[in-house]
Amino acid sequence: MEGIKKRKKSKHKRIEEFKDFLTVLPALIFFGVFIYYPLGELFRISFTNWNLIKDEFKYVGFRNYKWLFAGSGWDQLVNALKVTFTYTIAEVFVTLVFGLLLALLFNKMTKMYNSFRTILFMPKYIGVSTAGIVFTWILNGRYGILNYLLGTVGIKGPDWLTNEKTALAGVLILTTWRVVGYAMLIYLSAMQGIAKDYYEAASLDGASKTQQFFKITIPLLSPTTLFLFVTTFIASMKVFQSIDVMTGGGPYKATNVMVYWIYRLAFVEFRVDRASVVAVLFFLILLIITAITMRISENSVNYDG
């Protein structure tokens, strides 16, 4: 009798496991069709000589990888990685630091502060292409309003988007305008979720506001900081629209980030094979950095709050 009961339980367990599998099957199919299959095709195309102009397609082994790492593509790769990481580091810094500072400034539940928070958050929902066109005029060296305002205080502004030394900074001005309000709102939500008991206990022990900020607020905001870091890092590494609208990768490739370079290889130079090789490398870079970040965060992120 016990053997029969065990077999029935085992059969029931297998049925339940099969039901669980059926519930996730649609998601698995979706990921397989729209993520894993395109990734597989990307790797496959990277071993071909697919040139859209000549309409050729045949396997050439590692020739494209040789072009990227030991040929004329190497200098372009170094430049694109340099520009991309410079932009990414700047955007992550702006998002985390200014988002946190604004959250501290507007961490009050009044109607006036609610209005200010709404104004700061709104740019997140304005299309990048639309904002890019507007900021192209704002940053115009001769007629832009930014240089006009700088001129009123005796500062001669540069021609932001046509000067290779300031073009990336010009794009970052648009980025800052769009992202800080979003980061502020995320930090605000996390701050208001921290129990007041921590601060009351610290005050009784004689801790100052500065000490409370660094010893309580910052550690308990670490999960939020990790979330913003990972999402901002990935989004900034994939920046495309603002570059396409405002600078077109120029001047002199000063804003030629990785995604825009991939786009130009595929749809301007019609070298889909080379674009695939760069895309494969870019995917691996993002995968490795994200994995390292998550690994480090296991020991450094505090979830007690």
The domain that holds 81 is classified in CATH as 1.10.3720.10
Instruction: Identify whether 305 is part of a domain.
Output: no
**pLDDT on residue 302:** 57
* Same-domain pairing of 16 and 125: no
* Same-domain pairing of 154 and 293: yes
CA distance 83 to 62: 26
Sign of CA dihedral 150, 151, 153, 157: positive
**pLDDT on residue 192:** 86
CA distance 10 to 2: 12
Number of domains in the chain: 2
Instruction: Identify whether 53 is part of a domain.
Output: no
Instruction: Identify whether 3 is part of a domain.
Output: yes
Q: What averages of pLDDT result for each successive group of 10 residues across the chain (305 residues)?
A: 60 76 88 90 92 83 94 94 96 94 82 79 88 94 90 90 93 93 91 86 86 88 90 92 93 94 94 94 92 77 57
Tell me how far apart the 2 most distant CA atoms of the chain are, in Å: 95
* Same-domain pairing of 122 and 184: yes
Instruction: Identify whether 56 is part of a domain.
Output: no
* Same-domain pairing of 225 and 155: yes
Instruction: Identify whether 60 is part of a domain.
Output: no
* Same-domain pairing of 256 and 147: yes
Give the structural domain span for 112.
65-300
* Same-domain pairing of 27 and 90: no
293 neighbors 229 (Cβ within 8 angstroms)? yes
* Same-domain pairing of 14 and 77: no
Instruction: Identify whether 141 is part of a domain.
Output: yes
Instruction: Identify whether 233 is part of a domain.
Output: yes
Instruction: Specify the pTM.
Output: 0.88
* Same-domain pairing of 205 and 126: yes
Listed residue (270, 96, 287, 283) closest to 183, CA to CA: 96
* Same-domain pairing of 93 and 41: no
* Same-domain pairing of 172 and 33: no
* Same-domain pairing of 109 and 148: yes
**pLDDT on residue 98:** 94
288 exposure class (CB count in 10 Å sphere: 0-12, 13-18, 19+): exposed
Report phi then psi at 269, rounded to 5: -90, -10
**pLDDT on residue 172:** 94
* Same-domain pairing of 134 and 164: yes
SS3 sequence, 186-220? Answer: HHHHHHHCCCHHHHHHHHHCCCCHHHHHHHHHHHH
Instruction: Identify whether 57 is part of a domain.
Output: no
